Amino acid sequence: MEISINNPAKSEIFSLIFQHLKAFTEQIVIMFEKDRVYFQSMDSSRISVFELFIPSTWFDKYVHSKEGTFPVGVNSTLLHKVLNTREKSQETRIVFDSEDDDKMFVYFTSEDKSVFDKRFELPLVDIDTDYMAIPDMESNADFSIPSIIFANIINQLKLFGDTIDIECTEEKIELKSLSEGTGKMCVDIEIDELSEYSINEGESINLSFSLGMLHNICLYNKISKEVHIKLIKDYPMKIIYYLGDEDTKLIFYLAPKINED
């Protein structure tokens, strides 16, 4: 099995995806299928599920000679260390040899001779995996917002508490955070300022989520210009980063906090 990414921008996106995984899980199983790369996992606190979909055509080279799926289990922290050494001008190549199936090899190369090539050998780990079948449900409200702006808002709200309240109406979206002793922060998002917004007629939605987990999800703001958010009453929030088209995406499902009042 071998994949290559020659485009530096795509190499950067691919590296960023895996660099931030350590904020969610210690280990990950990457599924190399005939026509795509896929993974699904859950964070250690079990309040979020995340999935990656990258079709084989996204890569400059995608060689999959084995029948069926090629599962590769890796340590997230170790993978982060490796990808963190990549220079922005370097291409990425990942090789897995079925004859040496306890290791994965990563290569960073560049035509710029002032940037030295690097190669890595990573031990693989055996990980038991159970995948959730996540139904595609109709949302009550969804909107798109520039990912860097949303990340900045979440970082600021986190200064005032550990919970975000999201209220959506036909007129606006309101984001709130508060806690005793640190005050309260509210952000009013006007609908006209969003590239996309839809809500069921006459609908009003009010949901609460973990700001700490949402902060970690927003670490991915550099992989896509916009973040797409779908809200369903009493169900997890769906957060999507598209990586060029609708088939190439990173998705998070974040469970709402239960109001005990």
For residue range 2-36, what is the model confidence (pLDDT) as tens digits?
A: 999 999 889 899 989 988 888 899 889 999 999 99
119 and 145 in a single domain? The answer is no
Q: 171 or 127: which carries more pLDDT confidence?
A: 171
Q: Which residues of 102-114 are buried (b: 16+ CB within 10 A; e: fewer)?
A: eebebebbbeeee
Are 99 and 41 in the same domain? yes
Q: Residue 182: which domain range?
A: 141-242
- Identify the bridge partners of residue 167 per DSSP, sorted by sequence position: 174, 206
99 φ, ψ (degrees, to nearest 5): -80, -20
Domain harbouring 184, CATH code: 3.70.10.10
105 with 22, same domain? Answer: yes
Same structural domain for residues 109 and 204? Answer: no
103 and 167 housed in the same domain? no
Q: Is residue 90 in a domain?
A: yes
Asked whether the beta carbons of 58 and 243 are under 8 A apart, the reply is yes
User: Per mean pLDDT, which range of 5-9, 104-108, 214-218, 257-261 is the poorest?
Assistant: 257-261
